[in-house]
Copies of this chain bind each other. A is one copy, B any other.
Amino acid sequence: MERTTVSYDKLYGYMANMLEKGMKYPRASAEITSKVLVEADARGHASHGVARIKMYYEEVEGGKNHPEAAAEVVHETPVSLVVQGNSAPGFPTSKFAVEKTIEKAEANGTCMTAVRSSCHFGMAGYWAEQMADRGLIGWAFTNTLRAGIPTFGRERLLGTNPICVAIPIGRKPHFMLDMATTTVALGKIEVAARRSGTMPIGWAVDENGKDTTDAVEVAEINRSGRSRYGGQLYLGGATEALGGHKGYGLGMLVELLTAGLSLGAPTYDTYVERCDICHYFQATRLDLFGEAKQIQAHVASIIDRIKNSPTAQGQERIYIHGEKEFERREKALKEGIWLDPATWLRLDDYADRFGLEHLVP
């Protein structure tokens, strides 16, 4: 029988168990990790979903991610925190950091939190959403692994360095911008490599820093790490004509707010001994600026005006950031989460490795 979809709760329980039994995550760490992965699959972001078990397993096996470790606060003011992740998984560390950030923002109006020595925290949107769910403006940035090339450069030094900001508007979905600062996510180049072998100009450059459409070559370099040259471009592409220097600037900004403020490892020093990933969170109360409900209604009215404006010829709808993911999640809660065949096989593979049962929908 071919497996296609699985219920949210079943997938969540299965993954939490796999992380706990197979990878020795403490129960609470296994739960939050499973939660964020399943949320990504429910929103249609398979690139950040349960298939990532492979990456986390390899990190743990390689001694870069220490499931038994725990994060701690190493610096604190009424409106800020610095969290040392101690190489614990990025999920419990981010949960710890975001909960403390929310607590301080609720008490003092705002809180900014820099996190160092963490690991991959999954989809940035999950963390910003926790803050927005509490009525706060939520910011979540992270550096990642070497992927991106500075404008006019050729060495992969920065990450895909996402920017995520969630603004609560009194109804769901929140306004939620969650974007890699590179043109596309690495996963898209891998898909292009598998399908046609080519990708559009503007996604990546080769080892000489020249524009390339060869997705196979770029995906291979990125995966194998055989060369430190060649990799992804930032939003706007390789040239200043279409604003590539702006995307690169946004990637830099994320790097400086995460690794810079936390005194942590920049992307080019990640995944050496440890994961050494850095994050930055910010939560801000709306009533810093007046009556929160009135502000939410005003923000919602701006969103509605944009959303209901005339579409371009041939287009049916103008999207607001966060809507697509919200709608896919609603559907997945009703109809089950769809996993692609490769993901089903990967889960089986790890179940076998850990001596666990296969997932049955």
Contacts and interface: CB of A to CB of B under 8 A. Distances in A.
A315 B114 contact: no
Given A235-B236, A313-B210, A319 B157 contact: no
Q: Which secondary structure dominates chain A's binding surface?
A: mixed
B82 A290 contact: yes
B305 A266 contact: yes
B242 A302 contact: no
Given A312-B153, A312-B154, A79 B82 contact: no
A241 B175 contact: no
Interface residues of A, number: 82
Interface of A: 75, 77-80, 82, 108-110, 112, 114, 149-155, 157-158, 163, 165, 167, 175, 177, 179, 183-184, 200, 202, 205, 208-210, 229, 235-238, 241-243, 245-247, 249-250, 252-253, 255-256, 259-263, 266, 268, 284, 286, 288-290, 294-295, 298-299, 302-303, 305-306, 309-313, 315, 317-321
Number of copies: 2
A181 B158 CA distance: 21
A302 B260 contact: yes
A248 B266 CA distance: 28
Contacts of A151: 318-319
